[in-house]
Amino acid sequence: MSALMAVQRLGRIPAALFVALSLVNSFVFSAVDRLGTWPAALPEGLLALDIVDKIQVDPNTTARFSSDYGGLSQAAPAAVLYPSSPDDIATLVRFAYSSSSSSSSFSIAAHGHGHSIRGQALVPGGVVVDMASLGRGRSDRINVSSDWYVDAGGEQLWIDVLRETLKHGLSPRSWTDYLYLTVGGTLSNAGISGQAFRHGPQISNVYELDVVTGKGDTITCSREENSDLFYGVLGGLGQFGIITRARIALEPAPRRVRWLRLFYTDFSSFTGDQELLVSMTEKVFDYVEGQLLTEKDVGNSSFFSDNDTEKIKMLAAEYGGIYFVEGGVYYGPATASMVDRKLESLLKRLSFVPGFAFTKDVAYISFLNRVQEEETHSTAPEDVLHPWLNMFVPKSRIRDFEMGVFKGILKKNNPIGLVLIYPFDKNKWDDKMSAVIPDEEVFYTIGLLPSATVDDWKYLDSQNDEILRFCHQEGIDFKQYLPHYTTQTDWKNHFGLKWDAFVQLKRRYDPQALLSPGQRIFTSSP
């Protein structure tokens, strides 16, 4: 303050300007007193913004945002923003953009529910945006329309979107297996589950978005308006903007689900039946997934009775590894009488092991929330690590993948963990969007989802590397889902023909590469 007073006494600035500067100076010192030691990585200009009271820099706060669900990466941010509106996010990003040419530039990452697995949502030395704060204490962030869509904040969990839409007898069409993920998080990747063969991934079921770009602009976009941003953001890994609202397609919600698991000892029969189920003109199943089971993996599900569990264990022990197709048939009061008849006719066409078809009848919400309900009964420790690998493999090479990975690498290493295997229809994906898939009409998602400890995660991670090397050596044109690469060359190969357009969008909407640096796509301005 003494410097300001000296300048004022000398008459070098008008009295009114002196008062204004004094107020700013006082505000900055007050903010520093409240926040404590200000991080050297961040410009002090942040202290003069009207969002400063929503920023926390204490180590206890930043430590909570220094890891993710995978547990394999650690990187603490310098600060955390707890926004109360999308405007707060825009204010932060605009300031970062205006400071990006200085030595005190910083990056920004949106944090949803923290379910990235390779540090993709971490921002070392930057600012994390705690998206959950947008909906905290508010009831206006999920709005259901009678025109069969819902406007949901990017911070909203899919389970909450489901609960709110069910009040109106409606439901989103496409899901993820786990519903405690945010709308913005899954739409930045794709959002896949067993409904995608009918409706496409979640990104194919979006009408409109509100996005805060890397310049701090808030833009509404759709297929008709600002369409380049709309298509780019969906599956865009957070590279072009932060999703603050999504308009999502709805359909009438069923009441019940006939839930089936059909077991196979032969991989060709297993995949053949899956492909039949997803390609039928008059589809009976509304949901189709599949899994690989070893003897050690049997018994981890409340789906089966104790007697059925022992029966399945014996089958797995005999063959060393078995498969099951998981199906769901949705129905309501008007269609209940048809379900048994349709299933009886369809099951006669399938090639599962006789006597190994198991069914349950559950409420629709219980079926969609099945993963959480299983976890509620789980005795697994909470501090496990998740060295996961998710891939899309073309149908023409799925048998090669089976021989080299399922009957080769995995059998040799005797894994314990969830292995998902189920097909998608390429025509249900919009190629204009950033998400990349194999160039075949039918392709499979492979999810290798083990749980690990600090003692064995590196072993499992090296197994993932071995699988990727095998695919490269055999010329299998796979694509990673929830991709993790460390060089731009690998990212170019991942995006293929979409790479040039991806770079152009980055230059247009985040030219200083401020957003989501944890993806490691652009380590400097594009």
CA–CA dist 321, 372 (Å, integer): 26
What is the chain's length? 526
Helices 2-9 + 15-35 axis angle, to 10 = 180
The amino acid at 198: R
Q: Select which of 130, 160, 210, 289 is catalytic.
A: 289
Q: Report helix, strand or coil for 170.
A: strand
Nearest CA among 121, 117, 70, 130 for reference residue 383 = 70
Residue 192, sorted as left (phi over 0), alpha (psi -120 to 50) or beta, turns out to be beta
Specify whether the CB–CB gap between 395 and 444 falls below 8 A: yes
How big, in percent rounded to 5, are the helix, strand and coil portions of the chain? 40, 20, 40
CA–CA dist 37, 24 (Å, integer): 19
* Per-residue tokens: 209: 């978005």
CA–CA dist 314, 197 (Å, integer): 32
Q: Report helix, strand or coil for 444.
A: strand
* Per-residue tokens: 53: 């009271």
User: Is 115 a residue of the active site?
Assistant: yes
User: Is 273 a residue of the active site?
Assistant: no
* Per-residue tokens: 319: 């063959």
> Based on the number of CB atoms within 10 Å of its own CB, is 125 exposed (0-12), middle (13-18) or buried (19 or more)?
middle
Q: Select which of 177, 266, 425, 461 is catalytic.
A: 177
User: Is 439 a residue of the active site?
Assistant: no
Q: Select which of 111, 113, 115, 199 is catalytic.
A: 115
DSSP tag of 203: G
Pairing of strands 79-81, 127-130: parallel
* Active-site annotation, residues: 115, 177, 289
